[in-house]
Copies of this chain bind each other. A is one copy, B any other.
């Protein structure tokens, strides 16, 4: 498992973490990744937490610094409401911002709903990890990952993580020719 892809999946939701309803975000993230990633093996670290900025920040830091995640996907908490603080927590732990993810996620969602512009999702690098905020709804999670994941494997390469191969019928990882490895026969 030393070459596994370690993925943090974080759902920020007062109600789901308080047991008011069942979290649908983490299962949606895991289902999408399990289908789309052919190799390496996936190891998930799950965190279901309330919409508290300090708690979200602590979870992101622990997942990256202590658990060694290469990729962290969050769901929830990216709207305009007062309790929506996931982007602020994510920016607070960032080494580098990747504005293109937020732009493209909103552009993708805008094909479905005009309120996509209310989404405040960001993506950042912290140490060896790419952290991406995703929407809260399973349908929107799928639409968004379908729209941006092609760029994730090469990003993980560039920050020193394992070489990801995808199920190309679902999403085709894009790399410049110089960064491509021969496909297994």
Contacts and interface: CB of A to CB of B under 8 A. Distances in A.
Query: Which 10 pairs across A and B sit closest by C-beta, in order of nearness?
Result: A100-B117, A114-B150, A81-B158, A115-B151, A114-B174, A100-B106, A104-B117, A117-B151, A80-B158, A115-B154
Given A80-B159, A81-B159, A158-B80, A100 B114 contact: no
Given A80-B159, A155-B80, A159-B81, A175 B115 contact: yes
Interface residues of A, number: 38
A16 interface: no
Given A81-B159, A104-B110, A97 B118 contact: no
A155 B118 CA distance: 7
Interface of A: 79-82, 84, 88, 96-104, 106-107, 110, 113-120, 125, 130, 148, 150-151, 154-155, 158-159, 174-176
A150 B96 contact: no
Contacts of A114: 150-151, 174
B174 A115 contact: yes
A80 B158 CA distance: 7
B80 A130 contact: yes
Contacts of A154: 115, 118
A183 to B, nearest CB: 19
A80 B130 CA distance: 9
Contacts of A155: 80, 115, 118
